[in-house]
Amino acid sequence: MKRLKSLFILLLLSTLMASAQQITGVIVDEATGDSIPLASIRYKGHGKSYVSDNGGRFTIDKHDGWYATFSAVGYHDLKLLIGTNSPNHMRITLKPDTKSLSGVTVKSKRKRYKRKENPAVALMRRVIAAKKRTDIENHDFFQYAKYQKLTLAVNDISPKELERKGTKKTNWMVNQVEACPYNNKLIMPVMVDETISRQIYRKDPHSEKTIIVGQHMDGVNKFIQTGEVMGTVMKDVFSNVNIYDDQIRLLQARFTSPIGKDAIQFYRYYIVDTVKVERDSCFHLQFLPNNQQDFGFSGELWIVKDSTLHVKRCHLTLPSKSGVNFVEGMQIQQAYTKLDNGEWVLTQDDMVAELSLLSVLTKAIVIRNTRMTDYLFDPIQDKYFKGKQKEIYQPDAKIRDRMFWQQVRMVPLTRSEARMPQFLRDIENSRNFKYALFALKVAIENFVETGSQQAPSKFDIGPINTMITSNFVDGTRTRLSGQTTANLNRHWFLKGYYAHGWGSRKNYYNADLTYSFNAKQYLPHEYPKRTLTLSSSHDVCSPSDKFLITDKDNVFTSLKWTKVKEMMFYNRQQLAFEYEWYGGLKAMAKLKTEENEACGDLKFIPLSANGVAPAEPWKIRTTEASVMLRYAPGETVVNTKQNRVSVNREAPVFTISHTMGVKGVLGGDYNYNFTEATIYKRFWMNSWGDLNVDLRGGIQWNKVPFPLLIMPAANLSYLAQYGTFNLINNMEFLNDRYASIDVWWNMNGKILNRIPFIKKLKWREYIGVKCLWGNLTEKNNPYSACNIGNTQLMQFPDGANLMDKNKPYVEIVAGVSNIFKVLSVQYVRRLNYLDLPTAHKQGVRFKLMFKF
């Protein structure tokens, strides 16, 4: 018995002595008092390192006479001497570095970097090879709960700004300012978006769904009718990061993952130490791109030191010299947790990005906090995977009350985020706010609302940029446009314009009456579009106007590199049905009757007239039915007041259409059939940017006059436009068979970023080639002997030519984008058909483009 007591006392003393040889504590921010996760503690020179947990808590061995260095990304190091008088529990405070988001810099004391026989590279090869074994998608099913909070705030507010005389009068603004724990700066949150969802996955047949349980958005975007665009774009730009993907989609670009299949060639790796992260022994590595101006990360990885070689923690930043636009600094911190079944899963994903669009504008900061919990691997019923819709909203997802959010919120709201409703009320009561808001709305939406916050607009005036323009026939032209909104009726919509040509003294109009089968929030083109539209219009246009992606009388597209004299009046009535399914499939059917009359320098002269123009203007009338299918899986769109914009171009886009003209119905003069198909696809080329391919082809099957033949997609504006030819003139080639390819390669500065001095400008190069194959068969050739005196065909207009079916038209493009971060300038050159009198050999085109 005495021996047992002695053994017990000995064990107790050993335990007390062991605890006395350890130091525990917490590492916090000196300015805010907030804990600092994943901070490092090292006994430099002794080969011992430790890492604090997510709450900043740490436990280290106590070694008298050794120096412990406490460090964290974004903070100044703190060096302490450990002695006999050192307490067993410490509260370590680190001073923030003002350049906290500027990126991790690996200062190499090493020799020239080599991959061969490099232990860090050998380790990373094993980590990359182990991905397939540890991929959570190896399971037949899994699901988890996901909470995300996205905050947009004005960044880097100086105390002097708050003390200004004008600012002091706006206490509501001062009350919204708070300290940001991520960069130790004063910020003013202006928008917060919270989403709680359930993510479900099925391996075979493969399907992934997001069930939105709750969604709440509050902030200044509420003052703009298309404010949802801000939230949608922010989520797409600052998307979730999965380092287990080979390519990480972020900032609407692709970054090579530090554990991707191409990472070894893209990054340099350095083993720092072996450390304990919570209870797991981990390899601690640092990495950075070979060229820090490439689109890649620098940062740190903690790899579990076992057979899984799974990532335990990661810290990603953008190198300070990165070629990414508008981002002054970014950091991403992720944490993985081991479940009871042995699986490693992502449980924490936090991102902070400091932005500056232009030096003259206020800076911004975006903070995204994401938490994943409640992982399950049980079978999921098939009913949850039905349909193509990737996001499924529960019926009351957008009307959850405060109690609900208090229960499910995994990241607390800050003081200013919590008082966002009061902040919005204060803004509304501000005397000068309505004038600033009016100007902002007009600039963003291109429309003027006729309502107010209390009585939302039922009718919007616009587009503003079409009010004054010009063309060859009308000279100066004015237009007044408008459209009703869902605040008047959620199913019925009216849209139209009245225009006047001051030189031609002609009046024009357009009127669209649309019925939406599904109720809309504001406008009928909101996704999914399921509408029936009856329209009537009388106006003037050039034949090439149909290739414009915007209004033909947009003031900017009216600036032409050549004078467009061939025009025609049209009188059109149309009934169109459009239906979209979730998943990217769209069907459209149209019935149209249209009368065209040549004007300007364009003439409609039938071959039977033997070259003599008719005394009365010759008109043609067509009646046609058309169908079109479009499939764009994975496409994300946002709705503006004018149209719909694709947020990403990740997925391929397929279209096929057929148009059939019917003679004798509603005055139609011709029978004809026209079939067309297109394919668009973007290919990501790792650090070499993206390659875009646009293929098109079509056939006019019947004998028709030249207005019904196939004319090239000519862009006569100085503004560059994808899918069109820069140096083909209006109706320069007329065909009844065609195929075209448009290829452009955005290299993201891969070459320019390696040229001294120029690389400081952060310009980005791109090249492209556009080819057109065309053929006019004998039946539609007005110069063929078999068609002399034909009553159906017409003389080709001046400047129209025949293509050699064995000789494609080719033009090349070489451009530089990111000039002043917004301007793209490209040189275009035509390579053949230079002997034609209509040929323009070269030119310069421009484009405004905001791209990260």
Same domain, 618 and 731: yes
**Interatomic CA distance for residues 734 and 794, integer angstroms:** 12
Is the predicted pLDDT of residue 522 greater than 90, yes or no? Answer: no
| Residue 578 shares a structural domain with residue 657 | yes
Query: Does residue 193 lie in a domain region?
Result: yes
* 7: in domain: no
The Cα 672–Cα 701 span in angstroms is 7
Identify which of 625, 696, 693, 710 has the alpha carbon closest to the alpha carbon of residue 655.
Answer: 696
Res 19: pLDDT? 40
Residue 426 is inside which H or E element, if any? helix 420-428
Are residues 462 and 347 part of one domain? no
Q: Which pLDDT score, from 0 to 100, does residue 13 have?
A: 34
- For the chain, the domain total comes to 3
Q: Has residue 103 got a pLDDT over 60?
A: no
Do 660 and 694 lie in one domain? The reply is: yes
Provide the β-strand partners of residue 629.
Answer: 587, 656
Q: How confident is the model at residue 490 (pLDDT cuts 50, 70, 90)?
A: very high
The pLDDT value recorded for residue 817 is: 85
CATH number of the domain at 46, please. Answer: 2.60.40.1120
CATH number of the domain bearing residue 458: 2.40.160.50
For 489, what's the count of Cα atoms within 13 Å in the CB-facing half-sphere?
A: 12
Q: How many CA atoms lie within 13 A of 401 on its CB side?
A: 1
Peptide bond into 528 cis (omega under 30): yes
Contact call for residues 35 and 27 (beta carbons, < 8 A): yes
Is residue 384 domain-shared with residue 481, that is, in the same domain? no
**Taking all residues of the chain, what is their mean pLDDT, rounded to a whole number?**
84
Domain range for 76: 16-94
Is residue 439, in this structure, part of any structural domain at all? Answer: no
Cβ pair 516, 531 in contact under 8 A? yes
- What is the per-residue pLDDT for 829? 95
pLDDT at 45 over 50: yes
- Rg of the chain on CA atoms, in Å: 32
Model confidence over 319-328: pLDDT tens digits? Answer: 766 667 778 8
Return the structure tokens found at 269. 């790796």
Q: Is the pLDDT of residue 104 over 70?
A: no
Name the one residue in this structure whose structure tokens are 């953008």: 318
Cis peptide preceding 463, ω within 30 of 0: yes
pLDDT at 230: 63
Assess whether 463 and 393 both reside in one domain. Answer: no
Would residue 32 count as lying in a domain?
yes
Question: Which helix (H) or strand (E) is 17 found in, with range?
Answer: helix 2-20
556 and 515 both lie in a single domain: yes
Which range has the worst mean pLDDT, 42-46, 367-371, 596-600, 762-766? 42-46
Which has more confidence, 691 or 615?
691
pLDDT digits (tens, 9 = 90+) for 111-170: 577 777 788 888 989 999 888 888 888 899 999 999 999 998 888 887 777 666 555 556
With CA atoms as reference, report the closest residue to 501 among 558, 574, 463: 558
361 has a pLDDT exceeding 60:
no
Residue corresponding to tokens 């100085």: 718
Percent of the chain with pLDDT over 90: 33
- Give the model's pLDDT for residue 231: 63
Query: What tokens were used for 217?
Result: 């958005």
Mean pLDDT of 224-251: 73
Whether the CB-CB separation of 680 and 648 falls below 8 Å is answered with: no
Residue with token string 């999965």 = 242
* Torsion angle in degrees (nearest 10) through CA of 91, 95, 99, 104: -40
Neighbours of 135 (CB within 10 A): 11
Distance CA 273, CA 51 (A): 11
| Residue 303: inside a domain | yes
One domain, residues 151 and 250 = yes
Q: Of the candidates 428, 463, 489, which is a domain's last residue?
A: 428
Containing 7, the helix (H) or strand (E) segment is helix 2-20
From 35, 61, 94, the end of a domain falls on 94
30 and 89 in a single domain? The answer is yes
User: In this structure, are strands 207-219 and 247-250 parallel, antiparallel, or unpaired?
Assistant: unpaired
- Judged against a pLDDT cut of 50, whether residue 47 lies above it is answered with yes
368 and 458 co-located in one domain: no
Q: Which two tokens stand for residue 708?
A: 């019904």
Cα 511 to Cα 554: distance, rounded to the nearest angstrom: 18
Is there a single domain that holds both residue 782 and residue 646? yes
pLDDT score for 229: 58
Split at pLDDT 50, 70, 90, the class of 849 is confident
Task: Confirm whether 337 is domain-assigned.
Answer: yes
Q: How far apart are CA 143 and CA 132, in angstroms?
A: 19
388 and 469 co-located in one domain: no
Asked if residue 113 is part of any domain, the answer here is no
Residue 436 within a domain:
no
Q: Choose between 4 and 407: higher pLDDT.
A: 407
Least confident of 321-330, 622-631, 770-779: 321-330
> Rounded distance, CA 446 to CA 640, Å?
9
Q: Which pLDDT band holds residue 491 (cuts at 50, 70, 90)? A: very high
Q: Which of 400, 428, 456 is the last residue of a domain?
A: 428
pLDDT of residue 111: 59
DSSP state of 135: -
**Which of 421-435, 661-675, 738-752 has the highest mean predicted lDDT (pLDDT)?**
661-675
